[in-house]
């Protein structure tokens, strides 16, 4: 049978439990596999290979477990792309979100596992279950569509809205120079208008931190489906509105999240700043 959303409660709950089991098991492997003496400096290939190898191994583990217990489901992962399924459910996985933190030993990286119905794209999917596991400190956020969001089993809720000037914002930056030039311009315009800005280095943890009240608002340009899937459901089920600019859903162009009142103010600001635009280098400079 092909699943269509919404799923019944028991199915949703089963998917949440499986997402959490998968994220925990992969997280254990990722934590154990991180060498203590990763040399970050100039020897580019080895540390980067270490991370790439662990990304691949984590994703392979999750894929193998899903294939064993839900062989008809599709899988979309950061490292190996889309394996289409026939059940109507696709698992969207980020084997390590926050790979630069993982490389440097900064304890903010996560395994993210979500189940979605519909085409596995942020503009078309319904995320029905998700888990983000903060590997270094062991925290586990879970959410099921319509069932609320939890961290380590306890319900979480976003902060009440406060004016932008009192809001702590989370954000992140892409990997290309053109994107970063645009993001730097936007962050420079926002910084004087808000309480402060945090760059944690894992989009999934940004959104889960928001869900737990550790940030008031979050925005980022450049998120991929696997960065967004599980954590967007956690944030949404914790009371956040998660959306893009100019009336479109959150996706790579822009993701903004927080309590409705302030999220709309931030969206308006970001639209005025053309924050959904990259900035090529000025050829005259």
Least distance between ligand LIP and beta carbon 106 (Å)? 11
Q: How far is the CB of 203 from ligand LIP (least distance, A)?
A: 4
- Quick note: the x/- pattern for ligand LIP over 185-204, rule CB under 6 A, is ----------------xxx-
Binding to ligand LIP by CB under 6 A, coded x per residue (else -) over 131-170, reads ----------------------------------------
The residue behind tokens 């980022």 is 220
> Using CB under 6 A, which residues numbered 3 to 62 contact ligand LIP?
none
Residues 6+ apart with CB under 8 A from 55: 78, 79, 95, 96, 99
Query: Please, which residues have CB within 8 angstroms of residue 1's CB and are 6 or more apart in sequence?
Result: 87
Closest distance of CB 10 from ligand LIP, Å: 32
Q: Can residue 222 be called a binding residue for ligand LIP (CB under 6 A)? A: yes
CB of 177 to ligand LIP, least distance (A): 13
Q: Are strands 168-170 and 196-198 parallel, antiparallel or unpaired?
A: parallel
74 or 98: whose CB is closer to ligand LIP? 98
Specify burial of residue 50 (Cβ count, 10 A radius: 0-12, 13-18, 19+): middle
The answer to whether 239 contacts ligand LIP (rule: CB under 6 A) is no
Based on the shown chain and the rule CB under 6 A, indicate whether residue 237 belongs to the binding site for ligand LIP: no
CA distance 35 to 26: 16
Q: State the minimum distance, in angstroms, from the CB of residue 174 to ligand LIP.
A: 5
Strands across the sheet containing 196-198: 196-198, 168-170, 217-220, 255-258, 241-243
Question: Of all helices (H) and strands (E), which one includes residue 75?
Answer: strand 74-77
Q: Which is nearer to ligand LIP, 51 or 151 (CB)?
A: 51
Q: What residues make contact with ligand LIP under the rule CB under 6 A? A: 94, 97-99, 172-174, 201-203, 220, 222, 227
């Amino acid at each position: 049978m092909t699943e269509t959303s919404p799923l019944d409660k028991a199915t949703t709950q089963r998917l949440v439990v499986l997402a959490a089991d998968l994220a925990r098991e992969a997280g254990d492997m990722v934590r154990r596999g991180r060498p203590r003496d990763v040399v970050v400096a100039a020897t580019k290939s080895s540390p980067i290979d270490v991370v790439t190898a662990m990304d691949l191994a984590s994703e392979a583990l999750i894929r193998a477990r899903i294939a064993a217990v839900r062989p008809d489901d599709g899988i979309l992962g950061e490292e190996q792309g889309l394996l289409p399924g026939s059940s109507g459910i696709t698992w969207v996985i980020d084997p390590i979100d926050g790979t630069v933190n993982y490389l440097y030993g900064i304890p903010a990286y996560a395994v993210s596992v979500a189940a979605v119905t519909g085409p596995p794209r942020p503009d078309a999917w319904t995320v029905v279950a998700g888990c983000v596991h903060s590997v270094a400190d062991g925290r586990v956020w879970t959410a099921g569509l319509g069932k609320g969001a939890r961290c380590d089993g306890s319900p979480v809720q976003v902060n009440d809205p406060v004016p932008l000037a009192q809001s702590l914002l989370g954000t992140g930056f892409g990997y290309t120079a053109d994107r970063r030039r645009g993001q730097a311009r936007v962050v420079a315009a926002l910084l004087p208008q808000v309480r402060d800005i945090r760059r944690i280095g894992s989009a999934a943890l940004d959104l889960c931190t928001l869900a737990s009240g550790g940030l008031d608002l979050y925005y980022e340009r450049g998120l991929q489906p696997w960065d967004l899937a599980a954590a967007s459901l956690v944030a949404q089920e914790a009371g956040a509105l998660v959306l893009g600019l100019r009336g479109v859903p959150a996706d790579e162009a822009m993701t903004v999240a927080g309590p409705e009142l302030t999220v709309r103010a931030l969206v308006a600001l970001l639209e005025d700043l053309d924050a959904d635009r990259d900035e090529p280098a000025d050829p005259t400079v």
